[in-house]
Amino acid sequence: MVNVIHVLGVATLFGAVLILDLRLLGVWARAPLAAITTVVGPLAIAGFALAAASGVCLLAANALECEDNPVLLVKFSAIGLGLVNAIVLRCTVAWQANTTRELSHSEARRLGLMGGVSMVSWLTAVGAGRITGYW
């Protein structure tokens, strides 16, 4: 049952992040960023909370088996990068200004870069999580 909850949390998180990252990379450029973040932001947070809580349970249940698994280091590093990227993104002037004005080309490029970093980090975390079971 915990596995199912973990998969549901990861799917919710990744689905929400994927939509946001694609928008930051320029897909659906005519869709207001603020409208997208209003929907996907809370979903991503809920998905992360669910995945993290269930992940701790999964890790605790298999702690000795996971102890020497190098793939977990990759997974946790990618999750850390994704979280740091999300925090830094929310602190940028461009992110804070996206609801009040049009972003400049350089601001949009910076947000796009951060969307790319986010996509790579979360894809890495999901991929490493999937591989973990086979290590």
Tell me: the pLDDT tens digits for 52-64? 999 999 888 877 7
pLDDT at 65: 75
Residue 73 has pLDDT above 80, yes or no: yes
- Let me know: does 15 contact 43? Beta carbons within 8 Å: yes
Euclidean distance between CA atoms 60 and 63, whole angstroms: 5
Note the pLDDT tens digit of each residue in 31-54: 888 889 999 999 999 999 999 999
pLDDT digits (tens, 9 = 90+) for 74-128: 999 999 999 999 999 999 988 888 777 888 888 889 999 999 999 999 999 999 9
Give the pair of three-digit tokens for residue 64: 């000795």
Q: What is the pLDDT of residue 60?
A: 87
Average pLDDT over residues 3-30: 94
What pLDDT shows up at residue 66?
72
Extract the tokens encoding 34.
């603020």
Q: pTM for the complete prediction?
A: 0.88
